[in-house]
Structure 1
Amino acid sequence: MDTIASLFSFITWPVSWVIVQFHKLYGAIFGDDTGWAWGLSIVSLVVLIRICLIPLFVKQIKSTRNMQVLQPKMKAIQERYKSDKQRQSEEMMKLYKETGTNPLSSCLPILAQSPFFFALYHVLSAIASNKKIGVIDQSLLDSARQAHIFGAPLAAKFMNSSAEVSALGASLTDVRVVTAVMIVMMSASQFFTQRQLMTKNVDLTVKTPYMQQQKMLMYIFPVIFAVMGINFPVGVLVYWLTTNVWTMGQQMYVINQNPTPGSKAQDQYLTRLLKSVTAHGEVRGRTRRNTVKRIVAKGPDRNDIERKFVTGLAKLGLAPQEDGTVGKSDTAAAEAEGGAAQRRQQPKRQTKAKRQTGTAQAGGKDTDSTETGSKTSLQKQDEKPKPAGKPASGSSRQAKSGQRKGPQRPKHPSKK
């Protein structure tokens, strides 16, 4: 880890400068040598970095959604060019270019944070070794070494020996308890972030290998962070825990305000939007109007959740407009009521077993009446006078096989 951190030593100066500036601010409030002053300086560093990375986060969301949409097409390309890897790669790149998708965009926030993360690790390692680094001079170095967070020094690690922890003015028990709790919180926040992404913000109508990969990462990432966390100084654990909580909150906001089409989150969002329109009779908020615009623009390509929302508006006598508002529409209400009436009038289709059971019961009940009716009809037929010169009705049925029914032609004299 120290070797990797040294590769990013070029950025240690700006990172140490930012920390020192925040330390001056919080030192005036909590005291220069307190853990609050140094801990909040690290937290503020994370917040500043994450604010600067918001544009990359937006690109990450778009790229992730595009990758979800393209998964069926990508799978078809892989099946079609299974034996030609070069052609498969060419078709994949062509698909990415046509749709404007960059697979690496989903990793941009993590990649952009990496230099700052390793630079902070390098700074804290220097503090633990009592070495000057960046803009941190000897007085700031002594102040940072005295700072403790719940009894654990900023530069202490879970795997430190008792002698190393004693040199920083703390006990090994305090360090391991604090670091263990922070590692568990860091892993739990990572798991919850990935879980809410999988359970709420994934298009449930598309089953692709991408979803299985994300599900595996949901369990693998927390384990990786837990294993790596035992080698992180307390200050780095503060940094990583803060960035995980920021990511979780940022993602929760995106899921609630701009969910993935076809996901459970979209169903919940449009349900809340329909309730708001029912209460106020209009679409309130620019974000919600943009959502309605997108639904109107899709036309017949809407998913089931969006059709349900449009149907709910129609029952209220409203129809979504192209500008994102809703307007009164008697036609939409009539169509919604007519469709509901037709669905109510349509009888339910019985199963084959029920139809057979009903037929058998009906046949059993009507057997006696049928037999009685047939006897009566036969008696009436016998009482009717038979017209002269006409054969009986049963004579044609009793004709020999091979003979034509009805009156026979006379045979030719030569054949008599």
Structure 2
Amino acid sequence: MDTIASLFSFITTPVSWIIVQFHKLYGAVFGADTGWAWGLSIVSLVVLIRICLIPLFVKQIKSMRNMQALQPKMKAIQERYKSDKQRQSEEMMKLYKETGTNPLSSCLPILAQSPFFFALYYVLSNIASGKTVGVINESLLDSARQAHIFGAPLASKFTDSPGKVEALQASLTDVRVVTAIMIIMMSASQFYTQRQLMAKNVDLTVKTPYMQQQKMLMYIFPVIFAVMGINFPVGVLVYWLTTNVWTMGQQMYVINQNPTPGSKAQDQYLHRLLKGATARGEVRSRRKRNVVSAIVAKGPDRNDNERRFISGLAKAGFAAQADGNVAKSDTAVADVEGSAAHKRQQPKRQTKAKRHTAGAQSGAKTSGDTDSEAISLRKEAPQDAKPKTAGKPAARQQPKAGQRKGQQRPKHPSSKK
């Protein structure tokens, strides 16, 4: 870690200068040698860096959405050219070029932060060793070595020996308790940030290997940070915990205000938008009007969330306009009622017992009709017609082949004998 940090020593001067300027500000309030003054200086450094990286963060969000949308096409290319890796790579690059997608854009914020992270690590390592670095002179070095955050020196690590911790005027127990808590918080914030992205801001209708990779990273990244965290000074843990919390809050805002189409977050956002639009009869925010306008422009290409939004407006008596606002519309209500009336009703499937009962009743009805018909035929027969076997017991007839045993039903007069 020290070797990697030394590679970024060329920016230790600007990083140390920023920290010193914030230290002067907070030192006037909390005291120059306090952990609050030095700790808040590191926090302010993170905030300043993240504000400067907001354009890269926006680009990262767009790149991640484009990658999610391209996953089905990428999978089709991989299956089509699975035996030709070179052609597969060429088609992938062609797809990226046509859609204007850069796979590395999602890593830009982390890559941009890396020099500042390692420069801060280099500064704190020199403070722990009692060496001046950047614009931090002897007096600032002594002040930084005396600064403690909840009893742990700013430059101490979880893996420091008892002798090194005592040289910084602290106890080994305090250092390990504070660093362990900060490592757990750092890993937990990293896990929650990734989980928030996967649970709310991913199009659930697209099932691709990309989603499986993101789920794996959701569990791998916290473990990596936990393992690396035991070698970080307390000041670096403050830096990384602050940047994780910033990322979590920034991502939460983006998910709530500009969710991915087809995601759970979009469904929740459109539900809030529908509730506000129907209650006030208009869409007041310009950004929200742009959202409604984009949904109207999609037409039949809307996803399920957007169809529910348009249907909800129609049920409330409103129709979305091309300019992003809503207007009263009786036609929309009639269309919804008409579509509901003409909706095809599928017959309910009866149970086996009900089907058996219905069949038995139908058979009984048929049998009853046949018996009534036979009785009427006997009444219409002439009175003088006597059977040839009068006075003699009727001989029991043997059923013919294929004929049922027992008493047979009388045949209709029109039937052939």
* Aligned counterparts of 2:38 and 2:252: Cα–Cα separation in 1: 28
For 2:240, the equivalent position in structure 1 comes to 240
* Aligned counterparts of 1:347 and 1:77: Cα–Cα separation in 2: 42
For 1:404, the equivalent position in structure 2 comes to none
* Pair 375,245 (structure 1): closer, same or farther in 2 beyond 3 Å: same
Q: Report deviation, 1:90.
A: 0.2
Alignment of 1:230-269 (within 5 A): 230-269=230-269
Alignment of 1:94-243 (within 5 A): 94-243=94-243
Deviations 1:283-341 (A, max 9, x none): 12122112112211211110011100000000111111111111122111111122233
* Aligned counterparts of 1:337 and 1:173: Cα–Cα separation in 2: 71
For 2:335, the equivalent position in structure 1 comes to 335
Q: Report deviation, 1:397.
A: 3.5
SS of residue in 2 equivalent to 1:319: strand
For 1:402, the equivalent position in structure 2 comes to none
Task: Tell me if structure 1 keeps the 8 A contact 2:193–2:248.
Answer: yes
For 2:371, the equivalent position in structure 1 comes to 375
TM-score (norm 1): 0.90
CA RMSD of aligned residues (A): 1.8
* Aligned counterparts of 2:367 and 2:90: Cα–Cα separation in 1: 80
* Pair 23,378 (structure 1): closer, same or farther in 2 beyond 3 Å: same
Identity of matched residues, %: 76
**Which of 349, 354, 357 is the equivalent residue of 1:358?**
354
Task: Tell me if structure 1 keeps the 8 A contact 2:203–2:261.
Answer: yes
Deviations 1:161-218 (A, max 9, x none): 0110111111111111110000000000000000111111110100010111000001
Deviations 1:330-359 (A, max 9, x none): 11111112223344xx544323x62x5434
2:181 aligned partner, one-letter code:
V
Alignment of 1:284-363 (within 5 A): 284-343=284-343, 346-351=344-349, 354=351, 357-363=353-359
Q: Report deviation, 1:146.
A: 0.7
Q: Report deviation, 1:379.
A: 4.5
* Aligned counterparts of 1:342 and 1:137: Cα–Cα separation in 2: 82
2:246 aligned partner, one-letter code:
W
For 2:81, the equivalent position in structure 1 comes to 81
* Aligned counterparts of 2:80 and 2:365: Cα–Cα separation in 1: 68
Moved more, 365-374 or 260-269: 365-374
TM-score (norm 2): 0.90
* Pair 368,72 (structure 1): closer, same or farther in 2 beyond 3 Å: closer
For 2:51, the equivalent position in structure 1 comes to 51
For 1:408, the equivalent position in structure 2 comes to none
For 2:26, the equivalent position in structure 1 comes to 26
* Pair 62,296 (structure 1): closer, same or farther in 2 beyond 3 Å: same
* Pair 378,322 (structure 1): closer, same or farther in 2 beyond 3 Å: same
Q: Report deviation, 1:394.
A: 6.0
Task: Tell me if structure 1 keeps the 8 A contact 2:17–2:134.
Answer: yes
SS of residue in 1 equivalent to 2:92: helix
SS of residue in 1 equivalent to 2:205: coil
* Aligned counterparts of 2:355 and 2:146: Cα–Cα separation in 1: 91
1:371 aligned partner, one-letter code:
S
Task: Tell me if structure 2 keeps the 8 A contact 1:186–1:240.
Answer: yes
Q: Report deviation, 1:393.
A: 8.3
* Aligned counterparts of 1:348 and 1:70: Cα–Cα separation in 2: 38
1:266 aligned partner, one-letter code:
Q
* Aligned counterparts of 2:243 and 2:126: Cα–Cα separation in 1: 22
Question: Which sections of structure 2, spanning at least 5 residues, go unmatched?
Answer: 383-410
1:44 aligned partner, one-letter code:
S
SS of residue in 2 equivalent to 1:141: helix
Q: Report deviation, 1:396.
A: 7.2
Question: Which sections of structure 1, spanning at least 5 residues, go unmatched?
Answer: 387-391, 399-416
For 2:62, the equivalent position in structure 1 comes to 62
Deviations 1:48-76 (A, max 9, x none): 00000000000000000110110010000
SS of residue in 2 equivalent to 1:159: coil
Aligned residues: 389
Task: Tell me if structure 2 keeps the 8 A contact 1:257–1:287.
Answer: no
* Aligned counterparts of 2:317 and 2:183: Cα–Cα separation in 1: 54
SS of residue in 2 equivalent to 1:327: strand
* Aligned counterparts of 2:172 and 2:415: Cα–Cα separation in 1: 114
2:348 aligned partner, one-letter code:
Q
For 1:405, the equivalent position in structure 2 comes to none
Deviations 1:25-57 (A, max 9, x none): 111111111111110000000000000000000
Deviations 1:190-249 (A, max 9, x none): 000001111111101000101110000010000000000000000000000000000000
* Aligned counterparts of 1:359 and 1:216: Cα–Cα separation in 2: 51
SS of residue in 1 equivalent to 2:82: coil
* Pair 26,317 (structure 1): closer, same or farther in 2 beyond 3 Å: same
SS of residue in 1 equivalent to 2:324: coil
* Aligned counterparts of 1:324 and 1:174: Cα–Cα separation in 2: 58
Q: Report deviation, 1:382.
A: 6.3
1:193 aligned partner, one-letter code:
T
